[in-house]
Structure 1
Amino acid sequence: MANDSKKLSVLLVDDEERFRQGLRTLLNFYSINSALPVEVIGDADSVEQVLKFTAQKCPDLILLDMQLKGCDGITVLASLKETAYTGKVLVLSAHQEDDWIFRAMQAGAAGYVFKNRVATQLCEAIDTVTRAEIYLPSEVASRFFRFFQAYSDSCLKACHEVHLTEREQEVLYWLTQGASNEEIAKHLYVTVATVKAHLTSIFEKLKVTSRTQAIVAALKLGLVHA
């Protein structure tokens, strides 16, 4: 780490209090043994708490679960991006599916650790992301980059050709998952009116007039994966 004399401030974000307590114990162990000088300055279990805390304290690092009360980690990452948060976010998740990893990294995560590997990988992961590098476990890296290449060659290229914004891509993703306007608004931490505005723009760009047509067009054009 660049400056061992200054402790790294950390925010724990998980909806399970027992898991947060376990992280505190592990991080305290690292700090006491000088393996990683860190200080847990708070915890949160919802996107509202995360945004309030980061605005007040701006932690150097956020350890983020991918499933929280009323939302997922992607929503938190997107919301942090909109606030211009300057710290790093390291995802700790039970989800090991390629699409979850890719979406988290695409949304701005600096690294991804499976929860059942936290005890053996967390110290290295934190040290890696605080050096402005990306952390992915070896068992994930090759799968991730294969998924990334496939996605880049199809979805990302298609979205660019249709001129969808990043937020419109997120709205379209949730639309294809069958989410209502209210559910999309909740996932993306925006108002229903904002979702409707994005859908209007998406419909215009896809040259469709309904949600069903938009879903069909999105799948046909490769804007999302089935």
Structure 2
Amino acid sequence: MTGAEPEVRVLLVDDQELVRSGLRRILRRRAGFVIVDECADGADVPAALAANDADVVVMDLRMKRVDGIEATRRLRRAGDRPPVLALTTFDDDELLSGALRAGAAGFVLKDSPAEDLIRAVRTVAAGECWLDPTVTARVLATYRQAARPSPAHHRLDQLTARERDVLEAIGHGLSNTEIAATLFISEVTVKSHVGRIFAKLDLRDRAAAIVYAFDHGVVTPGPNPASR
């Protein structure tokens, strides 16, 4: 952790103590993280967030009472709550696409390298998205099959050509920095485009933008245009 990096406050949600213990060892204070609380079920998340100020929720998807998808859906319905990074052992396209539909800001597999988990948590806490590159294409293909565009909400014609380029990049999971490098524009310009895209398409966050991009065919599942 450098002096310029603020600590990231994390709420861990997983029904296995062994998994939470492993996550604690990775997301430790020395690496720039503070675990503000832990939950063993999605039903306990609202109370934990009411008692603790968290920047990101690391959410297991398979739990016995309230699973991670339903818990994520409830958080998004509640309004301005911390973004959710979905975490799962299962390489399950339906499960992960369901997490996106519920409003998760990204997903990472439990067998990912520790460095990827650290980057994913920081990325989502910063308000961006993280899509595990090993399964993204298949997961979003599954999402695309399940979700059909609604003509009443088809507002793509309101976007400029450059805004559509930015939306496509968001759909591929690129950060603002990566979009700037890919499109050869400044990061400040990217942020301006993102704000206008959200306003024109009535989108609440980047996760919603990813869903919109795939729902309306802006992005075809495949390799990301920029490598992590």
TM-score, normalising length: structure 2: 0.60
Q: Which residue of 2 aligns with 1:22?
A: 22
The within-5 A match list for 1:46-85 is 46-85=41-80
Amino acid at match of 1:18: L
Instruction: Please identify, of 44-53 and 8-17, the stretch whose mean Cα deviation from structure 2 is larger.
Output: 44-53
Larger gyration radius, structure 1 or structure 2: 1
SS at match of 2:49: helix
CA 1:136–1:126 in 2, change beyond 3 Å: closer, same or farther?
Answer: same
Deviation at 1:47, TM superposition (A): 2.6
Rounded to whole Å, the distance in 2 between the matches of 1:51 and 1:60 is: 14
SS at match of 1:138: coil
**Which runs of 5 or more residues in structure 2 are unaligned?**
154-228
Deviation at 1:140, TM superposition (A): 1.4
Q: Which structure dedicates a bigger proportion of its chain to helix?
A: 1
Q: Structure 1 vs Structure 2: percent identity of aligned residues? A: 29
Instruction: Please identify, of 128-137 and 106-115, the stretch whose mean Cα deviation from structure 2 is larger.
Output: 128-137
Q: Which residue of 2 aligns with 1:96?
A: 91
**Which runs of 5 or more residues in structure 1 are unaligned?**
161-226
Alignment root-mean-square deviation, CA: 2.5
Rounded to whole Å, the distance in 1 between the matches of 2:4 and 2:100 is: 27
SS at match of 2:57: strand
Measured against aligned partners, the alpha-carbon deviations of 1:45-69 in whole angstroms (never above 9, x if no partner) come to 1233211011222311111101223
Q: Which residue of 2 aligns with 1:183?
A: none
2:36 pairs with one of 41, 44, 54 = 41
SS at match of 1:71: coil
Q: Which residue of 1 aligns with 2:7?
A: 7
CA 1:85–1:13 in 2, change beyond 3 Å: closer, same or farther?
Answer: farther
Amino acid at match of 2:63: L
